[in-house]
Structure 1
Amino acid sequence: MENEQGSKSNIVLYVSAAIALLFIAFSIFMTEQMGKAANAVLSFLTTNFGWLYLLSVGIFILTCLGVAFSRFGKIKLGQDDEKPEFTDFQWFTMLFGGGMGISLIFWSIAEPMVHYMSPPVGQGGTPEAMLLAMQLVFNDFGLHVWFIYTICGLALAYFQFRKGLPCLISSAFYPLLGERIHGPIGKSIDILAVFATIFGVATSLGLGSSQIAAGLQYVWGIPATPAMTAVVIAIMTVIFTLATVSGLHKAMQMVADIKIWLSIASMVFIFLFGGAVFQLNLFTHTLGMYMQNFVGQTLWMANIEWTTAWPIFYRAWYIAWAAFVGQYIARISRGRTIREFILTATFLPVGFSFVWLAIYGGAAFQLDVLSGGAIQAAVKNDYTTALYVTLQQLPFYMITAPLAMLLIIASFAGSANSATFVLSMLTSGGDMNPSKKLRGFWGIAQGSVTIMLILVGGTAAIKTLQTASIAAAFPFMLIMLAMCYSIYKALSEEKV
């Protein structure tokens, strides 16, 4: 690019790419040493600052709800006469697909079983442990997740569409930094966001491909070798890259629609054949317990070791994703009011997630009893097979198993689409419609990086990247706390 903005955007592109490549090279050729270093940093942060992760999420929740129900809730994320760019259904499918997908499928059966067998309090393997397990899963995939995404998305949408600033994470700090957002401080914020996004997508691609490879082996006996996993990654990369290049209104929307309809069909099938009444009873009880104990669960630290391994880990993981998910949901929410944005971006995806978890988790518990503990055994042996073992207890297994793999691909593609689009925005000076060449570059780059990691460093290298991205969430959490003040400062100057 020849203009000043272009040169500045190139700085973010080149520096973030160089840092990522350097870290990846070390992860490939010094896997053990990098793994130890990343684990040591993450352990230090979660052990000594776990309380701050929990408190920060509490602040995000209070900020979002306070703004939504205040007089500022009717302010448009855009000009006063702007209309929404997408229909309500399109908006919802892209909201859900951009921020939650692969992890919901990956853990919807495995995590309830893990907590059931080893609860943080009480005895495992009891009816009480089952109810507690579902409550804990709701806590990990519930409102806390979406308030993290929403506070980031609110700041970005407000300053970009209301104030006309570039579509960059650094734009959210204009009330605090002024024109310095265009300088080294602002660029550092954007580079950190790019860094976290690259590694977040790479680790998710690794997790998703491993679950598909495990399914190929479990269903058809095709060995889940690193080479086969690399082939799966390559296919998934082609799909989400082509979708991202096509743009928000074409294949990206189609992927989101496919994902939501496959998800609904899957839930209906498991609901009908996996013990509907049991699932309904479990959903009702778990929802009540979740609502009753929401504040306590937000700040619960009675079992430090367990809290560090699960809630704090999840909070850090979602904060690591907040940069790209927040930017993505901001991009698709132009023309909505602040109140509409906050309430829709939190409660609707959460409601869908809770129904999903109750159906999948409830069916797993019910079918585990009927199968003599087959699902517990699968989780103990290899939790990537838990979904297929569960489906095996139901009719039409040879049809539902391949459809489950297709759902995993669509779910990952939804998240990868949004991440790739946002990476292109962040590295093009905040262009709302970045070039197809740049979108293609980031799509291919993310897939290639993951393939190299799998082939050379194996799952250990993927785990190192995941640990590094979560450790990078700590400084970004501090950035998000500053976002809360920046939002308040800017809104207080609005004449409403």
Structure 2
Amino acid sequence: MKKLFVIDKTVFFGSLVFIFLFLSIGIFFPSEAERIFSEVQGYILYHFGWLYLLSVSIILVSMLLFSLGRFGQLKLGPDDSEPDFGYISWIAMLFSAGMGIGLMFYAVGEPLTHFMMPPTAQPRSVEAMREAMAVTFFHWGIHAWAIYAVVGLSLAYFGYRYNLPLTIRSGLYPLLKDRINGPIGHAVDIFAIVGTMFGIATSLGLGVSQINAGLNYLFGLEFSPTVQIAIIVVVTAISTTSVVVGIDRGIKKLSEINLLVAILLMLFVLVVGPTSTLLRDFVQNIGLYLDSVLLRTFNIYAYEPTPWVDNWTLFYWAWWISWSPFVGMFIARISRGRTVREFVAAVLFVPSGFTFFWMTVFGDTALHLDVDVAGGQLAQQVVEDVSIGLFQFFSYLPLPFLTSVVSIILVAIFFITSSDSGSLVIDTISAGGATQTTTVQRVFWCSLEGVVAACLLVAGGLSALQSATIASALPFSLVLLALTWALYSGMRADLAQRNARANASGALRAQPFSEVPWQKRLSTMLRAPTSRDVNAFIERVVGQALNDVAEELARRNRVAQVRQVAETGGIELVVPNEGVRDFVYGVLPATRPVAAFSLVQSAEREERWEAKTYFSDGSKGYDLMGMTKEQILADILYQFERYLALVQLPDSRLVTTAPEHSAEI
């Protein structure tokens, strides 16, 4: 009988305990909840606000250095891996998962709020207008995406290159070694789930408030917690359906549709608004952002304390940190085969560039409308209720009813993609990195997200959601710093191995492929083996060779294991080695297109099955089909000889130990 849940019990139930402890405040002390949440938020920001600011700064600098330096050439996966998704689909998915609801909620609201209440300038002045856009760019720029990037890069790097499970603890392996499977690793994953849950709940709270505000503005539907809970129920049900369908058919399609509709809405505002002025403003805004980014990165207003930095910058940083396990895990799952440089450049600059243009189109149009047409009324309405700001904004443009309806649909779809993406991520972490879990389990997490958002909205509105986000982000900011250092250690180890391999290659003999009779090699190249051929070859020939080596090593008092890898149908020889990465010689069935020598053959292209090798350092594998047992034995010994030469070099201390391989590759 199939299990209803596939979970890591400690992480699963530990996360639920913390989630329900926080929810119990709102459920059992509803009259006191808002005060309690507010006091918690104030205490954390006063005593640890500097930590949020410093952590984000270190992470951003590290991501830039990783991409620009020698680490940038490393791949998120074996050296010969290719991306699983096309570039446009990849960008659409990471963007929709990252900031969709927030962009809709704050695109008009944040610039106008800063215009009315700027941090340093005179309210409603030209300087306030410039400062409003510079601050908005700062909050939604590369700092936020650097936080997502460090989690995504860490998970993708150690997950796809080291064959570790896709959980947050895996990113700490270079620092913790086998202790990632103990209490520290459990605590890290629990923090990740709790932070993700409350980060998503905050976004869902923003989304449902804006949907309710739009329906109230258009149709007079009551703006109340009751209506908002009803909206949560409806949209969560749709999200659950998308989760059950999966990434390729559900989230991917919704993300692509939503990005297209969002672009069309932005272009509409650009065309009907002050187009030439907006293009000029965009250039100016980029300059203002670059001019002030360094100071704002470290500016906590230490000498002139102000609640502004707590309410805006520190809240945003905590929000991004709490979202980072969710977005980072999600973009890691869709980023296999990318290089470190490609990953960091795309994640940092592509969504940020789009966001900057989006904020310019909506924010600057709103500023110009407020000054030239609305006479300050639009900004005043936003200050009173930011959730209604976007719809009030559309009332000053053509087709206000249509654009408002489209905006509500956009927010709803962003709501859905955030919820179902978050559910998949939490599900993966709670299952110990397993990506194939039960439908019941995915539905459970998706439903719980809606319950958390509804309870916190009832308990204290958006302020309760913000407090929960800030509290959950505090411990995870330390985890992010540890992930950054672990990434540096792991990538440095791989480069050390690559350099050592180049230095040692002259002392080692060439691979034994030349020993295969040339007629047999040619026949193997031109004839496409079937899946059955490859599986039989791996079972009979490769398996025997690996077992022979393992038995001989055991006779020489060297621990060695041969493991079947159920998920891939492969087999691997693992020789543990304390202090350095284990020796792994694995073979699995793989496919590639058969060579075509004519147009007819090209049109009827077949897939060629191979018995492909893989190793613990992510280096390129090769096909063993056509080799005899003796030739495979020679190849194993060649690889083992090369491995021993590498780990005995002076730089071997840099080689990160690989963990015990699971049944998932």
CA distance in 2, matches of 1:11, 1:421: 19
Cα shift readout 1:172-227 (whole Å, capped 9, x = no counterpart): 11111111111111111111111111122222212211111111111111112222
CA distance in 1, matches of 2:466, 2:433: 26
| Larger RCO (alpha carbons 8 Å, 6+ apart) | 1
CA distance in 1, matches of 2:19, 2:286: 41
Q: Which residue does the alignment assign to 2:413?
A: 410
Q: Which residue does the alignment assign to 1:304?
A: 305
Q: Which residue does the alignment assign to 1:212?
A: 211
Superposition pairs of residues 247-258 of structure 1, within 5 angstroms:
247-258=246-257
CA distance in 2, matches of 1:226, 1:33: 17
1:448 paired to 2:447: no
Cα shift readout 1:384-427 (whole Å, capped 9, x = no counterpart): 11100110111111211111100111122222222111011011
Q: Which residue does the alignment assign to 2:166?
A: 167
Q: CA shift at 1:6, angstroms?
A: 5.4
CA distance in 1, matches of 2:181, 2:236: 33
Superposition pairs of residues 248-327 of structure 1, within 5 angstroms:
248-302=247-301, 303-305=304-306, 306-327=308-329
Superposition pairs of residues 158-197 of structure 1, within 5 angstroms:
158-197=157-196
Q: Which residue does the alignment assign to 1:78?
A: 77
Cα shift readout 1:236-256 (whole Å, capped 9, x = no counterpart): 112222112111100111110
Q: CA shift at 1:90, angstroms?
A: 0.5
CA distance in 1, matches of 2:320, 2:221: 33
Percent of aligned pairs with the same residue? 37
Q: Which residue does the alignment assign to 2:480?
A: 480
Question: Greater shift after overlay, 208-217 or 344-353?
Answer: 208-217
CA distance in 2, matches of 1:488, 1:380: 44
User: Do the aligned partners of 1:203 and 1:463 also contact (CA within 8 Å) in 2?
Assistant: no
Please state whether the residue corresponding to 1:101 is helix, strand or coil.
Answer: helix
313, 326, 335: which one aligns with 2:337:
335
The one-letter code matched in structure 1 to 2:112 is M
CA distance in 2, matches of 1:450, 1:301: 30
CA distance in 2, matches of 1:215, 1:129: 28
Superposition pairs of residues 42-441 of structure 1, within 5 angstroms:
42-302=41-301, 303-305=304-306, 306-368=308-370, 369-441=372-444
The one-letter code matched in structure 2 to 1:434 is T
CA distance in 2, matches of 1:34, 1:206: 16
With structure 2 as the length reference, what TM-score do the two structures score? 0.71
CA distance in 1, matches of 2:231, 2:332: 31
Q: CA shift at 1:27, angstroms?
A: 1.4
Cα shift readout 1:352-392 (whole Å, capped 9, x = no counterpart): 00010000001111222212223112113211111001101
Gaps of 5+ in 1: none
The one-letter code matched in structure 2 to 1:478 is L
Please state whether the residue corresponding to 1:120 is helix, strand or coil.
Answer: coil
User: Do the aligned partners of 1:142 and 1:353 also contact (CA within 8 Å) in 2?
Assistant: yes
Please state whether the residue corresponding to 2:493 is helix, strand or coil.
Answer: coil
Cα shift readout 1:9-42 (whole Å, capped 9, x = no counterpart): 1221122123212321221221343433333232
Please state whether the residue corresponding to 1:250 is helix, strand or coil.
Answer: helix
Cα shift readout 1:67-98 (whole Å, capped 9, x = no counterpart): 11121111110111111010000000011111
Q: Which residue does the alignment assign to 2:471?
A: 471
CA distance in 2, matches of 1:304, 1:312: 13
CA distance in 1, matches of 2:296, 2:242: 38
CA distance in 1, matches of 2:128, 2:97: 32
The one-letter code matched in structure 2 to 1:324 is F
Please state whether the residue corresponding to 2:247 is helix, strand or coil.
Answer: coil
Q: CA shift at 1:461, angstroms?
A: 5.2
Distance 1:35 1:203, change over 3 A: same
CA distance in 1, matches of 2:14, 2:382: 41
User: Do the aligned partners of 1:424 and 1:438 also contact (CA within 8 Å) in 2?
Assistant: yes
Structure with the larger helix share: 1
User: Do the aligned partners of 1:319 and 1:477 also contact (CA within 8 Å) in 2?
Assistant: yes
CA distance in 2, matches of 1:300, 1:469: 22
User: Do the aligned partners of 2:89 and 2:252 also contact (CA within 8 Å) in 1?
Assistant: yes
The one-letter code matched in structure 2 to 1:402 is V
Distance 1:395 1:150, change over 3 A: same
The one-letter code matched in structure 2 to 1:89 is I
User: Do the aligned partners of 1:213 and 1:229 also contact (CA within 8 Å) in 2?
Assistant: yes
Structure with the larger strand share: 2
Q: CA shift at 1:2, angstroms?
A: 10
Q: Tell me which structure has the larger Cα radius of gyration.
A: 2
CA distance in 2, matches of 1:281, 1:404: 26
Q: CA shift at 1:50, angstroms?
A: 2.1
CA distance in 2, matches of 1:383, 1:212: 12
Q: CA shift at 1:453, angstroms?
A: 4.3
CA distance in 1, matches of 2:393, 2:110: 14
> How many pairs align?
491
CA distance in 1, matches of 2:333, 2:305: 38
Q: Which residue does the alignment assign to 2:626?
A: none
Please state whether the residue corresponding to 1:333 is helix, strand or coil.
Answer: coil
User: Do the aligned partners of 1:28 and 1:461 also contact (CA within 8 Å) in 2?
Assistant: no
Q: CA RMSD in A?
A: 1.8
CA distance in 1, matches of 2:60, 2:360: 24
User: Do the aligned partners of 1:391 and 1:401 also contact (CA within 8 Å) in 2?
Assistant: yes
User: Do the aligned partners of 2:214 and 2:388 also contact (CA within 8 Å) in 1?
Assistant: yes
CA distance in 2, matches of 1:221, 1:314: 32
User: Do the aligned partners of 2:147 and 2:321 also contact (CA within 8 Å) in 1?
Assistant: yes
User: Do the aligned partners of 1:255 and 1:414 also contact (CA within 8 Å) in 2?
Assistant: yes
User: Do the aligned partners of 1:258 and 1:410 also contact (CA within 8 Å) in 2?
Assistant: no
1:490 paired to 2:490: yes
